[in-house]
Amino acid sequence: MKKKIILVAAAVLVLSILAACGKAGDKKPAGGNNHAGHGAISGQENAEKPAGNEKKEAGEMDHGGGHGGHGADAKPAAENLQASFAFPAGAAKANEETELTIQVKDKDGKPVNKYDVNHEKLLHLIIVNHDLSFFNHIHPEFKGDGTFTVNTSFPAGGEYKVFADFIPTGGANTTLSEWVKVEGKEGKHAAIAADANLVKEVDGKEIELSMSAAKPKEDVTLTFNIRDAKTKKGINNLQPYLGAVGHVVILSEDANQYLHVHPIDEKATGPDAKFATSFPQSGTFKIWGQFQHNGEVFTVPFVVNVR
């Protein structure tokens, strides 16, 4: 009887050792052989990162779609960057020129000082008011220490949203934004409603917008047909604006979604100017197309529903 007990105990001990060895063999360090460089490539540490999260795609880093195309270079993610917007001279006042500064820092609070030229500029600043009836697209000057400055003015008091659109060197296209307060009498807030007719006249030109689709999360081609308002003859001598046939900005009606839009043929001269984008969700969106003709830049707005 004693002999049987000893044999059973020995068998249990052997099985326990084998099970322990099996578990040890199944356990691999985070970022094992198959993922060994991903944390470093993405600018994130490998330590204690689940394999599926070690490498972020460019689209994840980009608020609204991004340019991508930076290969395996380190990509500072948008969530690791922060921008502060300030009026150094004090509160901004309606109809008065004021200096606006934008400082970009990384997750450690260090200034970001290297940027890629994007559409001929280091940083594009978009300013809109609460109901999107006001739109301004300007280009602050880089002063060093992660700081850009520009002089601008606001047509009325109230809240304005400012968007800093830039590409940190080695990173993806990034947009950071903030609501700022301007002192003075506020203008009337108009409801944002979709245009019944996507044809507008601006500066003697008739611009018609057509969309290949109007559904969320689908690739969309926006075509701006630009013609003379009187003769209806297509204009085929558009001049480059910011290095391309034009520049397009799209915002959701609450200004929470900023869409990146890219010209399909940068060297086009009209009468058609085509751009590619994708709407992230259903809702109402405002589109601003900017083009240059005879040395003058003109801006045409449209409001569309995406369903």
Of 255 and 72, the structure prediction assigns the larger pLDDT to 255
Number of residues assigned to the chain:
307
How far is Cα 211 from Cα 226, in angstroms, rounded to an integer? 15
Strands 92-93 and 174-183: parallel
At 65, the pLDDT band (50, 70, 90 cuts) reads very low
At 30, the pLDDT band (50, 70, 90 cuts) reads very low
143-163 confidence digits (pLDDT tens): 999 999 999 999 999 999 999
How far is Cα 263 from Cα 269, in angstroms, rounded to an integer? 12
| Mean pLDDT calculated for residue range 167-171 | 95
Is it the case that residue 272 has pLDDT exceeding 90? yes
How far is Cα 280 from Cα 252, in angstroms, rounded to an integer? 10
Within 10 angstroms of residue 74's Cβ, the number of other Cβ atoms is 14
Which option is the CATH number for 199-306: 3.10.129.10, 2.60.40.1930, 3.40.980.10, 3.40.50.300?
2.60.40.1930
**3 state SS of 194:** coil
How far is Cα 100 from Cα 178, in angstroms, rounded to an integer? 13
pLDDT given at position 71: 33
pTM across the whole model? 0.76
Domain ranges for the chain: 70-183, 199-306
Asked if the domains 70-183 and 199-306 are classified in one and the same CATH topology, the answer is yes
70-183: which CATH architecture?
Sandwich (2.60)
How far is Cα 16 from Cα 12, in angstroms, rounded to an integer? 6
How far is Cα 119 from Cα 147, in angstroms, rounded to an integer? 19
pLDDT given at position 13: 40
Tell me the residue type at 215: K
Q: 3-state SS of the chain: helix, strand, coil percent to 5? A: 15, 40, 45
180-234 confidence digits (pLDDT tens): 999 999 988 889 999 999 999 999 999 999 999 999 999 999 999 999 999 999 9
96-137 confidence digits (pLDDT tens): 999 999 999 999 999 999 999 999 999 999 999 999 999 999
How far is Cα 167 from Cα 246, in angstroms, rounded to an integer? 19
Give Cα separations from 36 to 26, 50, 54, 170, 202 (angstroms). 18, 12, 10, 20, 56
E strand or H helix that includes residue 4: helix 2-26
- Token pair for 149: 């400055």
How far is Cα 46 from Cα 199, in angstroms, rounded to an integer? 53
Is it the case that residue 68 has pLDDT exceeding 80? no
Of 158 and 58, the structure prediction assigns the larger pLDDT to 158
